[in-house]
Amino acid sequence: MFDNEAMYQYSSVIDAVVHEGITAFRKKGSKGVLAIRDHYAAVEAASENRKGVQFVVRDKGHLQMEHGVKGFIVTSQEALLTEADKITHWTPNVFRWGTYTDDKRQYIKGFDEQNLQQINTFVVDVDTQQVDVAKMLTASMKVLDQTPTF
């Protein structure tokens, strides 16, 4: 795990990105303070926002395994925060459902466009150090008609 400052920063980023698309705390096995969990549960119950799922992967190589994508499904910000220092890839957009394709619950499916519930971000993943940032920003502004953030 990480220190309090890092935990606060991770928590702030996760909260800003998920836009209430998943629950704040786990439904089962939560380590959160009961009064705070109850407060969030009441707020979420009164909200019209439907909660969904997000997908995470612990290693980039797990995205292209022989049997599919190896990862797991998260339904709460608490789960994301708990795993933040162990995951390499995360679908910040929210999907209606997610499921496992094997009995050991290692391979995931459900992260396709037809299952998309809520678009939180549009991500450009650049896997090289040799990139002209100015050109990338200009192209992004033309395509998205918005100024990207980092």
Give tens-digit pLDDT for 5-50.
888 888 888 888 888 899 999 988 888 888 888 888 888 888 888 8
For 62, residues 6+ apart whose C-beta sits below 8 A from its C-beta are: 69, 70, 71
Residue 103: inside a domain, yes or no?
yes
Provide the domain limits for residue 9: 4-121
Residue 71: inside a domain, yes or no?
yes
Domain total of the chain: 1
Give tens-digit pLDDT for 58-92.
999 999 999 999 999 999 999 999 999 999 999 99
Residue 145: inside a domain, yes or no?
no
pLDDT at residue 140, as a whole number: 79
pLDDT at residue 141, as a whole number: 84
Q: How many residues does the chain have?
A: 150
| Alpha carbon distance 19, 17 (integer Å) | 6
| Alpha carbon distance 90, 118 (integer Å) | 15
Question: What's the pTM value of the predicted model, to 2 decimals?
Answer: 0.80
Residue among 75, 146, 150 at smallest CA distance from 110: 75
> Can you point out the beta strands (E) in 1-150?
54-57, 69-70, 72-74, 89-90, 94-95, 99-100, 107-109, 116-118
- Does the pLDDT value for residue 106 go beyond 70? yes
pLDDT at residue 1, as a whole number: 61
> Can you point out the beta strands (E) in 17-98?
54-57, 69-70, 72-74, 89-90, 94-95
Residue 131: inside a domain, yes or no?
no
Residue 129: inside a domain, yes or no?
no
pLDDT at residue 137, as a whole number: 82
> Rounded to the nearest 5 degrees, what angle is found at the Cα of 112, between the Cα atoms of 144 and 56?
90
Residue 142: inside a domain, yes or no?
no
